Chains A and B, each alone.
Chain A
Amino acid sequence: AQSVAQPEDQVNVAEGNPLTVKCTYSVSGNPYLFWYVQYPNRGLQFLLKYITGDNLVKGSYGFEAEFNKSQTSFHLKKPSALVSDSALYFCAVRDFYGGSQGNLIFGKGTKLSVKP
């Protein structure tokens, strides 16, 4: 079955330090991978995606993610965290071969807390 895992419920980072939010996936074929961010009491906002091409994908708000096929990972990164980056982050994979008929499968989310 297709799946995506976010192994950390919460990540704490000091402002100015680099941050990483982890995501691993399991799919049958080539994955389409996404990161979304949710600020408090808001809907999800698209950050970036990997479809094909360069393994390093750059997205909104200075975020980037690296697709690693051998480790089946798609970790979200930012060189210098801001307090305003504090939010809930979701990794998602598009499921082409599972029962969801090609729809997105979301991880459970990782809460990022950036302290001043």
Chain B
Amino acid sequence: DVKVTQSSRYLVKRTGEKVFLECVQDMDHENMFWYRQDPGLGLRLIYFSYDVKMKEKGDIPEGYSVSREKKERFSLILESASTNQTSMYLCASREQGGIQETQYFGPGTRLLVL
């Protein structure tokens, strides 16, 4: 089974802090994604990466950056956390191409910015 893990389940940070959210997958998937989930808004794509060293902006990249130095690890960075970044953050991975198409999600990190 595919396993996607996220470094923290719950995180509390102060406004202005730099925040790192880590995601690791163990299935050698090329594609990885970061979403945020907010009530009534569903999932919104922040950034994605189709391969190591590659990154692309999603629908709401403002205030975020990412790093993909190794294939299995995709990090989301909040350069200066703000209260409007309080949310549930979900990481996902997917095999490149083919008929599979399925994204596999981690358990999520619930971030509270005070």
Which residues of A are interface residues toward B (Cβ below 8 A)? Answer: 9, 32, 34, 36, 41-46, 49, 51, 90, 94, 99-101, 103-104, 106-109
In the complex the two chains form, is A106's CB within 8 Å of B102's CB? no
Q: Which of B9, B103, B107 contacts A104 (CB 8 A)?
A: B103
Which residues on B sit within 8 Å (CB–CB) of A46?
A: 102-104
Of B11-19, B40-48, B61-69, B71-79, the one with at least 4 CB within 8 A of chain A: B40-48
Which residues of B are interface residues toward A (Cβ below 8 A)? Answer: 4, 9, 33, 35, 40-45, 48, 56, 58-59, 90, 92, 99, 101-108, 110
Given known A43-B107, A51-B99, contact A103–B33 (CB-CB < 8 A): yes
In the complex the two chains form, is A44's CB within 8 Å of B59's CB? no
Which secondary structure characterizes the binding site on chain A? loop
In the complex the two chains form, is A90's CB within 8 Å of B42's CB? yes
Given known A94-B101, A100-B58, contact A44–B45 (CB-CB < 8 A): no
